[in-house]
Structure formats: structure tokens, C-alpha cells
């Protein structure tokens, strides 16, 4: 049993850090600091199959689960990540139950029935169509978790990424409530000041880009240095 799959089944919190670009050396640090999964982002960071393969292998050495977000839901693309031993897929552009079923079948085809049981299938809920079809998507067997994408959902609904309009917030809350009521593990991005809302929503997968970690750490470092400087020379 994939340990991350078991955490999802037990509704335990999972920290998945988007490692950005070609950063294999960060894997050991992330693992030692408490991350559970390396989110290898081939959709937004521009990395290709060769770099993804390097990151998958680095994650395994560090003891992290490797989750690859593809740039496409095309089976011909997804199968390549399975062939390179990714522990799981995060698949964008899932708009209906058939899209989700196709991903589950692709993993079974690529890995075989026995090995497929240890792989993770995470589908993204990031469009108005996905929200409307969520009940049907949740009924597809073999999906391990659902990742709500507020920014892309905002674009789908309002034509502007990151728009936090009442309509977008209501759609995110609606999806979260329905997933929670159905007992389905799901995730959301959540900065430090958003963690209370993340926990209250019932989400268990925290999606956290590595630049957020750097921003928080550097802001804290800067604040500490300013405080020390303001207090005068130390003896």
C-alpha cells in the first residue's frame, strides 16, 4: 500500500510541496522537514519528461511520494509518467466522469491491475463544468483524491485567475462541502494565514508551492534581523 494512499484513506493531513523547476536537491530537505509528497509540476513550470524522471527518482531516494501533474490528460502523455515509476498522477482538465474514468483505466493499463492498486490518482476540480459534474466524478471508482483549483476555477467562472468574488468562493465552498459530505479526500492550496479555513473546510491535502515556503522563511528572517537591529548592539 502506498503510504500516501493510506493517509488519504485515513483522512490524515498530507503536505504536498510543488518543487518548482529542476530542483532534485531539495527533496531530502523537504522530507526531513515533514513534507509527504513532491508535487512535480509539468503543467505550470515547463519541465519536460526527462526532468520529471530525474525528480521522480530523487523523490524516491528521499522517501517522498512523487506526484506528477501532467500538462495534459491525454493517455499518451500520462502513460509516460507511469512508465517512469511516478507514484501518482495529478490530472488537470477533468470536466466530467468519463475524464476521471479514463485516467483510472490508463493507470490500470500502464501498470497492471496489481501494481495500479498502489498508484495514486488525483483529479483536479478547476472548472465550472467540473463543479457541475462533481457528483458524477465522485462516483468514479479508483480516484484517490480531488484537488480543488481556486485560481483556475476563478478563470473558468469569471475570466480572471485568482478572482476571489463571492461567486468563486461559493463554488469552492460548495465543492469542499460536497466532497467532505461524501467522505472523499480532497486538497486545496493554503497559505499560512489561510490554514484555519483549510482545516475548517475538511481538506486533508495541503498544496504548497516551494516559493511560498521561501517567502515565509525570508520574511521571518528579515523581521528577526530588523528586530535585532532595532534593539541595538548585542553584548
CATH of the domain at 80: 3.20.20.60
Work out how many domains the chain is built from and give that number. 1
pLDDT digit string, tens, across residues 13-23: 999 999 999 99
pLDDT of the residue at 58: 98
94 touches 123 (CB < 8 A) = yes
| 95, part of any domain | yes
Q: What is the pTM of this model?
A: 0.93
Residue closest to 87 by CA, chosen among 113, 125, 124, 121: 121
Q: Which helix (H) or strand (E) holds 207?
A: strand 205-209
| 108, part of any domain | yes
pLDDT of the residue at 159: 87
| 14, part of any domain | yes
Question: What gap in Å lies between CA 178 and CA 93, rounded to an integer?
Answer: 19
pLDDT of the residue at 18: 97
pLDDT of the residue at 161: 81
Q: Where does 27-94 have alpha helices with state H?
A: 27-33, 49-62, 75-83
Supply the range of the domain harboring residue 94: 3-230
77 touches 132 (CB < 8 A) = no
| 235, part of any domain | no
**CA-CA-CA-CA torsion sign (138, 142, 148, 151):** negative
pLDDT of the residue at 136: 98
Q: At what angle do helices 166-181 and 150-158 cross, to 10 degrees?
A: 130
pLDDT of the residue at 122: 98
Residue closest to 56 by CA, chosen among 74, 38, 44: 38
Question: What gap in Å lies between CA 85 and CA 87, rounded to an integer?
Answer: 6
pLDDT of the residue at 46: 82
How many residues does this entry show for the chain?
Answer: 235
Q: Which residues of the chain have pLDDT under 50?
A: none
| 77, part of any domain | yes
pLDDT of the residue at 1: 53
At 19, phi and psi to the nearest 5?
Answer: -80, 0
| 174, part of any domain | yes
Residue closest to 91 by CA, chosen among 67, 57, 117: 67
Amino acid at each position: 500500500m502506498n503510504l500516501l494512499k493510506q493517509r488519504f484513506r485515513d483522512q490524515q493531513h498530507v503536505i504536498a510541496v510543488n518543487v518548482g523547476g529542476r530542483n532534485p536537491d531539495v527533496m531530502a530537505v523537504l522530507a526531513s522537514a515533514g513534507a509527504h509528497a513532491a508535487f512535480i509540476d509539468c503543467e505550470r513550470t515547463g519541465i519536460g519528461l526527462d526532468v520529471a524522471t530525474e525528480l521522480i527518482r530523487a523523490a524516491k531516494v528521499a522517501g517522498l511520494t512523487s506526484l506528477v501533474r501532467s500538462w495534459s490528460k491525454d493517455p499518451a502523455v500520462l502513460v509516460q509518467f507511469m512508465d517512469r515509476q511516478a507514484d501518482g498522477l495529478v490530472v488537470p482538465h477533468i470536466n466530467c466522469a468519463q475524464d476521471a474514468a479514463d485516467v483510472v483505466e490508463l493507470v490500470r493499463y500502464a501498470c497492471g491491475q496489481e501494481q495500479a492498486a498502489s498508484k495514486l490518482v488525483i483529479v483536479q476540480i478547476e472548472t465550472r463544468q467540473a463543479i457541475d459534474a462533481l457528483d458524477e466524478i465522485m462516483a468514479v471508482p479508483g480516484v484517490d483524491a480531488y484537488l480543488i483549483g481556486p485560481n483556475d476555477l476563478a478563470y473558468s467562472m469569471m475570466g480572471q485567475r485568482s478572482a476571489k468574488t463571492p461567486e468563486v468562493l461559493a463554488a469552492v465552498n460548495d465543492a469542499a462541502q460536497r466532497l467532505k459530505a461524501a467522505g472523499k479526500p480532497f486538497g486545496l492550496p493554503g497559505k499560512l494565514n489561510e490554514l484555519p479555513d483549510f482545516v475548517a473546510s475538511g481538506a486533508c491535502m495541503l498544496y504548497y508551492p516551494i516559493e511560498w515556503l521561501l517567502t515565509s522563511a525570508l520574511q521571518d528572517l528579515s523581521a528577526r534581523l530588523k528586530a535585532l537591529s532595532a534593539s541595538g548592539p548585542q553584548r
